[in-house]
Amino acid sequence: MTLLDRFLKYVRIPTSSDDKSDSVPTTGKQFKLADILVEDMKEIGIEDAHRDGMCYIYGHIPATPGYENRTRIGFIAHMDTSPDFSDFPVNPQIHENYNGEDIVLSDSGRVIETAQFPHLKALKGKTLITTDGHTLLGADDKSGVSEILHAADTILKDGIPHGPVSIAFTPDEEVGTSADNFDLEAFGAELAYTVDGGPEGEVVFENFNACSAVFEVKGFNIHPGEAKDKMINACLVAMEINSMLPSGETPRHTEGYEGFFHLCEMGGDCEKAYLQYIVRDHRAENFKARQDTLLHIEKIINEKYGTGTVALTIRQSYRNMEEMIRPAFRVVEAANLAVERAGLVPTHEPIRGGTDGARLSFMGLPTPNLGTGGYAFHGPYEHITLEGMEKSAEIIENIIIIFTE
């Protein structure tokens, strides 16, 4: 099976996860792709490929005789796609010898514009894969799944000497729970890579520190005609809380290593209201300062309006994996060399979000993230090139060879 055929096969299978579900996996339809992947893995020679009851897939490529003592490395990708557009069949469009211009997405009324995505001009002449504009594509992360299996197939078919290799495919990454039930013992690797990034050649080992923060405001409702010095309008207090945060530190106004406060949701009435934020920063000291700011706002509001007016709940989400990867930096150095051997220059942009690799790194498995060749994930403008996927698969093969050497 070619890499393109494999990718098109997988993206047509619906696997969206559900952030409102408490089951594992969050949607039963993820089992369909999982069972297909197990069969495909066995077909290329991964004999112990299996799915557990929670829809996690594990398989191993035993070392070539004489190479059993090499570092046990692993590759991980997720099977689920974003909950958006979950009820629509994916209809991939292939643009061979892409002309580098705007792309009209079928009859959807949507256009992938070069003005919005200037990198498109650099993709001229390549085989570009898009949606028909009605769904996302699912390259996040079925490109990673396809590339890992393509690389494994090449290593086995061509008889390339290799050390022990572990492979895992997981559910529910898009809703942030895929590392929760990951079986490190079953996986059996010392170092690993998630294959879940953007352009080919990415080697990412930094991500945001992250938490959620919820302000719950308790007002005091009374007839407005008798409200003088008595009424506490919860909605107005919520507005006051938000006004106390720096207006320039939102996702719209930040980039690179700059952190933010992101107001995701708000609601309420005079009697009660709430504000729901996510808080992000790459640097641990800045991340702590942001949380201290929120706590200080809670203190000020309660001093102004009375104890119990506002309650702040902060929940930690994930931490910057660089802290755990630096002591095992050979995992990054090997990836850099693999990218260079593929004729590319490795890039190291920090992830302005999270990754399973962050969770796994703090669980004891250093796991940076590799690019897949894709762009504009999580929406109908998602696209990827065949050439980018081929390079990403080549990088995986090179990593296996480098750790064998």
d(CA 209, CA 386) in angstroms, rounded, equals: 33
Are 214 and 276 in contact by the 8 Å Cβ rule? The answer is yes
Residue keyed to tokens 């933010």: 260
C-alpha distances out from residue 326 to 340, 366, 368, Å:
21, 9, 11
Is the pLDDT confidence value at 99 over 90?
Answer: yes
d(CA 68, CA 64) in angstroms, rounded, equals: 7
pLDDT tens for residues 312-352? 999 988 899 999 999 999 999 999 999 999 999 999 988 88
State residue 226's pLDDT score: 83
**Cα three-residue angle 27-262-16, rounded to 5 degrees:** 15
Is the pLDDT confidence value at 250 over 90?
Answer: yes
Domains of the chain, earliest start first: 3-206+320-404 (3.40.630.10), 209-318 (3.30.70.360)
State residue 229's pLDDT score: 86
80 is a catalytic site residue: yes
The contacts of residue 262 (CB under 8 Å, 6+ apart) are 250, 251, 277, 278, 279, 280
Q: What is the mean pLDDT of residues 47-59?
A: 98
State residue 162's pLDDT score: 98
- Tokens of residue 285, six digits: 């000291």
Residue keyed to tokens 């909605």: 235
Residue keyed to tokens 């938000």: 242
d(CA 169, CA 75) in angstroms, rounded, equals: 9
Active site residue: 40, 80, 200, 356, which one? Answer: 80
Helix or strand run (H / E) with residue 312:
strand 310-318
Are 234 and 270 in contact by the 8 Å Cβ rule? The answer is yes
Secondary structure (3-state) at 279:
strand
Q: Which of 364, 382, 359, 17 is nearest to 207 (CA)?
A: 359
Cβ neighbours of 347 (radius 10 Å)? 16
Q: What is the mean pLDDT of residues 298-307?
A: 97
Secondary structure (3-state) at 383:
strand
Q: What is the mean pLDDT of residues 14-26?
A: 92
d(CA 308, CA 204) in angstroms, rounded, equals: 43
- Tokens of residue 27, six digits: 């949607």
Active site residue: 40, 140, 141, 173, which one? Answer: 173
Are 359 and 179 in contact by the 8 Å Cβ rule? The answer is yes
C-alpha distances out from residue 202 to 87, 195, 337, Å:
31, 10, 12
Question: What's the mean per-residue pLDDT of the chain?
Answer: 95
Following DSSP, what letter does each residue of 193-246 receive, concatenated? EEEEESSTTBEE--B-EEEEEEEEEE-B---GGG-TTT-B-HHHHHHHHHHTS-
Burial of 316 (0-12, 13-18, 19+ CB in 10 A): exposed
Q: Which of 282, 315, 275 is nearest to 297 (CA)?
A: 275
Is the pLDDT confidence value at 353 over 90?
Answer: no
Is the pLDDT confidence value at 85 over 70?
Answer: no
The gap from C-alpha 331 to its chain's centroid, in whole angstroms, comes to: 19
Burial of 15 (0-12, 13-18, 19+ CB in 10 A): buried
pTM: 0.89
pLDDT tens for residues 217-233? 999 988 888 889 889 99
d(CA 261, CA 314) in angstroms, rounded, equals: 13
Which band of pLDDT confidence, cut at 50, 70 and 90, is reported for residue 376?
Answer: very high
Q: What is the mean pLDDT of residues 257-277?
A: 97
Is the pLDDT confidence value at 361 over 80?
Answer: yes
